[in-house]
Amino acid sequence: MKRIAIVGGAGRMGQALAQGLNALAQITVAALVDVHEPRESYGARYHELLTGVEPSGVDAVVDFSNPEGVVVSAAWCAEHGIGLVIGATGLSAEQRGAVEAAGAKTGVVMASNFSIGAVLSERFAAMAAPYFEGVEIIELHHDKKVDAPSGTSLAAARRIGAARKNAGMAPLVDPTVRHTVAGARGADAGDGVMIHSVRLPGLVAHQEILFGGPGEGLTIRHDSYDRQSFVQGVALAVLAVSSTPGLTTGIDSFIA
């Protein structure tokens, strides 16, 4: 039985994880950490700060709070040799450096998306990339998401770019030469892969990867209709982090 502390436990994602993970036979939620008291504790103890958690009472920390909170969690987990699973996105180079430093002392898993379907869609996109002339990404999220583009779409774009490069393909070139409205063609995530971000109330997390070639197209779409869609992926990371030294980026390696 893995005992975990969830940092950001009062937030929408933290509450969804507490509910879903606590229902699994292999995991128990021992602590919810947040400056705000959570609506539901699911049998866990509430702590305002991670420093208030007894290290001997948890086997792993799950952090879906924010980049600043991740740095604190990384230092605490490194100090106590406790595994860390990170779902927060938008980290700066300096903040990522703190995570990498923690990875030198304990197991750390950091992923932009813990949905099994989203991870598989990236895998399928990398398989398709060498066979199509063009590709663009549309990512759609709820209107409370503060960063754009999403970490998931950036990870997909990098994987597609790497697959194209490995196949000897040149970076994509946007044929558009006249922009009536600046930014209408989205943002270049590297190697010419364009990302378009949508933010609307009612959405959760959705992504379309659109490929185009002579006479045909391929669309790989994934939809998370509820935050429970991330629970199984987080569970995979929690169960693996203690036996996976260093920093692991993404959960793809945990999916057979």
Per-residue exposure over 97-120, b if at least 16 CB sit within 10 Å of its own CB, e if not: ebbeebbebbbbbbbbbbbbebbe
- Unique residue bearing structure tokens 């950091």: 110
Here the tokens at position 150 are 């999403």
Here the tokens at position 87 are 């779902």
DSSP 3-state assignment of 218?
strand
Choosing from 80, 105, 142, 145, the catalytic residue is: 145
Rounded CA separation 8/211 (Å): 37
What single letter denotes the amino acid at residue 197?
S
Choosing from 141, 196, 206, 222, the catalytic residue is: 141
Strand order across the beta sheet in which 83-86 lies: 45-47, 27-33, 2-7, 60-63, 83-86, 108-110, 247-249
- Unique residue bearing structure tokens 């990098």: 158
8 Å CB contact between 132 and 213? yes
Q: Which helix (H) or strand (E) holds 126?
A: helix 116-128
Here the tokens at position 231 are 């629970």
Question: 58: how many CB neighbours lie within 10 A of its CB?
Answer: 23
- Of 146, 90, 144, 120, residue with least CA distance to 209: 120
Rounded CA separation 124/122 (Å): 5
Our answer to whether residue 141 is catalytic in this structure is yes
Catalytic residue numbers read 141, 145
